[in-house]
Structure 1
């Protein structure tokens, strides 16, 4: 492990499955969850991962990042790929009090993890998708309110809308989605429109920019 400079700020993310004990096949869901989480170590920018995505229990993971926008990307990616199961996330900004462990996001402590834990506890208490902590109180509230709006839209997605939304992120065009699933482009367009997928993606990208800009721009706690 390497020592952390006192002034280095990180973004800790803790995620878990809401209502995992009520899932029909919890063991299978946990295995899929582990595969999805581990794949993010390869799918997200390597330079943004300070300590790798690590499943800490069957239902929970942690990661330490250097980029707040990537924290939002991680929550979105896991949620997209684990639909229709509902997940929740706590995102915390702050320093480390212990040495950095790049290999796995365990065995570390500090304000970033304390705030992420408090945030996910708030998410659990409020039935929320994402809660954040460690920016200014006003910025935290603003981001949390935006996440709530996105959650309302995402949780109304049908399985087909969620499937098309994920495919659009991977293919880049509605034509590519239509070809992948051998359906008419109009079918894809109507489904995405009904699910307000473009609006959701715009809001998710805006949230990443909001948290990252604030982090680097100096308005903190």
Structure 2
């Protein structure tokens, strides 16, 4: 049976002055993700070494959704995220660092490619043709994100959460027109639609494999 391992690392973290604040941000992010995705997380996301963390999920279905939330919650830090799919060769442990198997190797390979190619989220699964498509879409989404200003980033992420321009405007104390203009400039609705389609595609793979 194949599982999914997601390994993430903060790029350039050794150059940061306040590493304690970074560690706290990582710990808070992991707690939020572990709680939100508790139904699919098999081994909770935990710090493995330094500013790297890893966890195991039951399949690829929510893998991009989890990975991109790491990217969003750790902003403005830049991440490298490797998503692997494959078998687990050892017994289950409470820490993924104490386990082994093809899925861990693929996740590590994907993480290395993420750093080498400067691509935040990289997949290495049992289907290389699928990887080509998913990694291409992931890179296009990243390219859109990296063109956002800080204010656009804030507004897009809030809109993603609430899906209502007026609600975001109320939160930020600005006009609905201001939010609308920022979303248009950031190509937010195209971005969110493509992101949703990628998530749907990964879920369909899981459903197809379990027919």
TM-score normalised to structure 2 length: 0.91
1:53 equivalent in alignment to 2:45: yes
Partner of 2:174: 183
| 8 Å CA contact 1:83, 1:162 repeated in 2 | no
Partner of 1:83: 75
Partner of 2:185: 194
Correspondence for 1:22 among 3, 10, 15: 15
User: Which one is further off, 163-172 or 80-89?
Assistant: 163-172
2:181 & 2:7 partners in 1: Cα distance? 35
Report deviation, 1:93. 0.8
Matches within 5 A, 1:47-126: 47-101=39-93, 103-126=94-117
Partner of 2:6: 13
Question: What whole-Å deviation, never above 9, does each CA across 1:192-217 have from its counterpart, x for those lacking one?
Answer: 12112222222222222223333443
Runs of 5+ unmatched residues, structure 1:
1-7
1:204 & 1:168 partners in 2: Cα distance? 14
Partner of 2:138: 147
Partner of 2:28: 35
TM-score normalised to structure 1 length: 0.88
2:203 & 2:78 partners in 1: Cα distance? 25
Partner of 2:162: 171
2:179 & 2:45 partners in 1: Cα distance? 33
Question: What whole-Å deviation, never above 9, does each CA across 1:62-82 have from its counterpart, x for those lacking one?
Answer: 110114232111111111122
2:15 & 2:190 partners in 1: Cα distance? 31
- Superposed CA RMSD: 1.6
User: Which one is further off, 56-65 or 167-176?
Assistant: 167-176
1:200 & 1:132 partners in 2: Cα distance? 19
| 8 Å CA contact 2:7, 2:82 repeated in 1 | yes
